[in-house]
A and B are shown apart, each in its own frame.
Chain A
Amino acid sequence: GDSVTQMEGPVTLSEEAFLTINCTYTATGYPSLFWYVQYPGEGLQLLLKATKADDKGSNKGFEATYRKETTSFHLEKGSVQVSDSAVYFCASLRGGFKTIFGAGTRLFVKA
């Protein structure tokens, strides 16, 4: 079945550092791919998405590119802030309505 694998956390960075959180997926066909973010005490909210190969999703300085050849959707940000501290979930959705979530990666950003 479909699955999503993302790098284990926690990831600890200093403010203004470069962020990469790796995500790979397995699926038959071409799913839509998402990054969700969960701030402390809140539900998940969509950060960005891409629906086909080579699409780049971007929001709030975060970017991820849908790479069909490597089945990846890595999340990047050039300069993180303390306010980016959260848990980040990679997810895939193919055809139906059952979004598959990765295990989540916790990010701590130190001032």
Chain B
Amino acid sequence: DAGVIQSPRHEVTEMGQEVTLRCKPISGHDYLFWYRQTMMRGLELLIYFNNNVPIDDSGMPEDRFSAKMPNASFSTLKIQPSEPRDSAVYFCAAGPGAGNTIYFGEGSWLTVV
């Protein structure tokens, strides 16, 4: 099993540009999570999906952030327009069901200058 695959691994972009982060979850894992990690705020859950449907997006910081899961094997997190305070590591994670371990990708390291 290849695990959760994220791309890009690293991205540097200018303020105001659109950023799209991509995730391929583990096949058969019905839950997909997007987390953001920063030194100041630690690990924050942004949104999670079950069977491709967004269940809880209360962690999405503002309207500049959006996430989609058009099918079971692909999800995107988009920031438009990006700002320097969005600089962070964004993790995608997948889980097989309630009460279970979740499996993280290696993260997308975003720097907005």
Which residues of A come within 8 Å of B, CB atoms? 32, 34, 41-46, 49, 51, 89, 93, 95-99, 101-104
Contact = CB atoms under 8 A, between A and B. Distances in A.
Nearest to A96: B98
A44 B99 contact: no
B55 A97 contact: yes
Given A101-B43, A104-B42, A42 B101 contact: no
B101 A49 contact: yes
A49 B43 CA distance: 19
A43 B101 contact: no
| Main DSSP-derived SS at the B contact region | strand
Contacts of B43: 44, 89, 101, 104
B32 to A, nearest CB: 10
B107 A43 contact: yes
Contacts, number: 45
Contact of A95 (B42, B98, B106): B98
Interface in B1-46: 4, 31, 33, 42-43, 45
Nearest to A34: B101
Contacts of B104: 43-45
Nearest to A51: B99
A37 B91 CA distance: 14
Contacts of A34: 101
16 contacts: A42-B107, A43-B93, A43-B105, A43-B106, A43-B107, A46-B103, A49-B101, A51-B99, A96-B98, A97-B31, A97-B48, A97-B95, A98-B48, A101-B42, A101-B43, A104-B43
